[in-house]
Amino acid sequence: MNKAPPASKLGRTAITGLALAQAGASKLGHKARQMLRSDDDKQAAQEQHEAELGRILFKALNQLKGSALKVSQLLSMEADFLPEGIRRELAKGCHQVTPLNRALIHKVFQREFGQAPEHLYAQFDAHAFAAASLGQVHHAQLADGLQLAVKVQYPGIAAAIGSDLRMLRGIFQTMAMGTTILPRKEVIDRFMNELEVKLGEELDYEHEAAQLHWFGQHVNLPGIVIPKCIDAMSSKRILTMEKLDGLHLDAWLATAPDQAQRNHFGQLLFDWFWFSVCQLGRVHADPHPGNFLFMPDGRLAVLDFGCTNNISSTCSNAMASSWRALLMTDETERNRLLRLAYIDLGLFSDAITQDEFDTGVIPALAELHAWKIEAFQSTHFDFSNKSPYPKTINVQHSKVLAGILAGWHEDVPYFDRAYLGLMNMLKKMGAIVNTNIAWTRQGTSHVSTN
């Protein structure tokens, strides 16, 4: 029988303690074996070690559920934070989650509405059709026949968020000791602090309901659908929305869509992202494939607005300036403008000289720069040819950046996460997209049109 996640601090501490012990043993064994391997074997072994650490992490996070598993999902998309081997294992958090049983679901409804779900809706399916990190989703129906999707939060997880993140911070810091796999302590601390704020918002379904209303009122992009929230049947821990008909990405791809369909939905995804950045100034910051539905009428539904983030005009303009600079052919002017844009983004202090930037930053970020602008060097781009995100960074380049990086603008991680999610989806779809947007020409203006 499915169980609730452990609510006691002792139970949750035991899970993380075991994960730490397993990770420590894996690290020691890997280090000892690496000394005996040839250079040709070390890279493969390193990848296996990363995957093993990822499996250890995911097992613990899946047992903790709640905020811990949400961290698993978000970290799987943080290419700047974790190596690919760990991210690949943590990506299981996007779909491999154990659902709760009927009694626990009724307990949440009794606390929120004082009645069982069968009395609130004309029909309610006690078996969840989707399970996520913070809650699970059930089918329901109103008396007038309106089909609903009801998201129910796992009981007790809101109270565990602070202790969970402290435990996870300890896991990451312990794993990071004596290895270059994970970032420095201060980077881990900042990431976890920002994550705690966002998780607090995601655990508040009234906040998500407000975001649904806001996006529903402001999104007028043809082909994009935002589900309507049913306020009378929603609360801080239960969110009732209209149920939209469609398939998630993998199921849609399994229907063997032709190239025209791939291009159509790829363009919708692409335009949705840039419309959000350039027009709305607010992004859907949880961009995994489970949050999109490919509808049979050709529209694209966007789901799960628990994690959104404003993109300030200061950040947006500086990022646009950096992209336009990267697309310049004049190397001297490109580097000059790029340095100014990166200073505005808080990546470097204004004490960095142009020579330090040209000789240190530019070589260190060359592969990343090429990946970022690859799709924007012609008016249309075939994303089946999109290069993978740069996996590693040269050790010498890493030392250079570590010595001069000052931090980042608070909006940048959310933009980067959403952009990486977009690139991954478009590549998986093999879509050919019109990438001729004003962002790369004039700044924050309107998205492309076919």
Query: Could you read off the pLDDT of 94-124 as tens digits, one per residue?
Result: 544 556 677 888 889 999 999 999 999 999 9
**Structural domain contains residue 3:** no
Own/partner contacts of 48-51, CB < 8 Å, gap of 24 or more, are 48/85, 49/85, 49/181, 50/83, 50/84, 50/85, 50/86, 50/181, 51/85, 51/86, 51/88, 51/89
User: Looking at residue 213, what is its pLDDT?
Assistant: 96
Same domain, yes or no: 38 and 141: no
User: Looking at residue 116, what is its pLDDT?
Assistant: 94
Q: For the ranges 62-66, 259-263, 266-270, which has the lowest average pLDDT?
A: 62-66
User: Looking at residue 448, what is its pLDDT?
Assistant: 42
The whole domain housing 122 covers 101-153+204-243
Same domain, yes or no: 404 and 319: yes
The structural domain count of the chain equals: 3
**Structural domain contains residue 2:** no
Residue 7: count other Cβ atoms within 10 Å of its Cβ: 13
**Structural domain contains residue 138:** yes
> How would residue 132 be classed by pLDDT, with cut points 50, 70 and 90?
low
With a cut of 80, say whether residue 6 has pLDDT above it: no
User: Looking at residue 36, what is its pLDDT?
Assistant: 46
Mean pLDDT along residues 278-290: 87
Same domain, yes or no: 228 and 370: no
Judge whether 134 and 67 are in contact, CB under 8 Å.
yes
User: Looking at residue 288, what is its pLDDT?
Assistant: 78
Nearest residue to 371 (alpha-carbon basis) of 80, 91, 125: 80
**Structural domain contains residue 339:** yes
Same domain, yes or no: 80 and 162: yes
Same domain, yes or no: 92 and 147: no
User: Looking at residue 258, what is its pLDDT?
Assistant: 98
With a cut of 60, say whether residue 423 has pLDDT above it: yes
Same domain, yes or no: 299 and 405: yes
User: Looking at residue 181, what is its pLDDT?
Assistant: 53
**Structural domain contains residue 4:** no
Same domain, yes or no: 269 and 396: yes
More confident residue, 11 or 130: 130
**Residue count (the chain):** 450
Q: For the ranges 28-37, 137-146, 317-326, which has the lowest average pLDDT?
A: 28-37
User: Would strands 300-302 and 224-225 be described as parallel, antiparallel, or unpaired?
Assistant: parallel
> How would residue 444 be classed by pLDDT, with cut points 50, 70 and 90?
very low
Q: What is the pLDDT of residues 362-399, one digit of tens each?
A: 998 999 999 999 999 999 999 999 998 886 555 566 66
Same domain, yes or no: 17 and 132: no
Chosen domain end from 143, 177, 201 = 201
Average pLDDT value over all residues in the chain: 80
User: How far from the centroid of its chain's Cα atoms is residue 226's Cα?
Assistant: 19
Residue type, 297: D
With a cut of 60, say whether residue 283 has pLDDT above it: yes
Chosen domain end from 185, 213, 243 = 243
Same domain, yes or no: 271 and 327: yes
The dihedral of CA 442, 444, 445, 450: what is its sign? positive
Same domain, yes or no: 300 and 440: yes
**Structural domain contains residue 398:** yes
Longest dimension (CA), the chain: 70
Same domain, yes or no: 261 and 368: yes
**Structural domain contains residue 76:** yes
SS3 114: coil
Same domain, yes or no: 447 and 420: yes
Residue 229: count other Cβ atoms within 10 Å of its Cβ: 21
Q: For the ranges 61-70, 119-128, 311-320, 424-433, which has the lowest average pLDDT?
A: 61-70
| Helix runs in 203-235, H state only | 205-218
CATH code, domain with 119: 3.30.200.20
**Structural domain contains residue 168:** yes
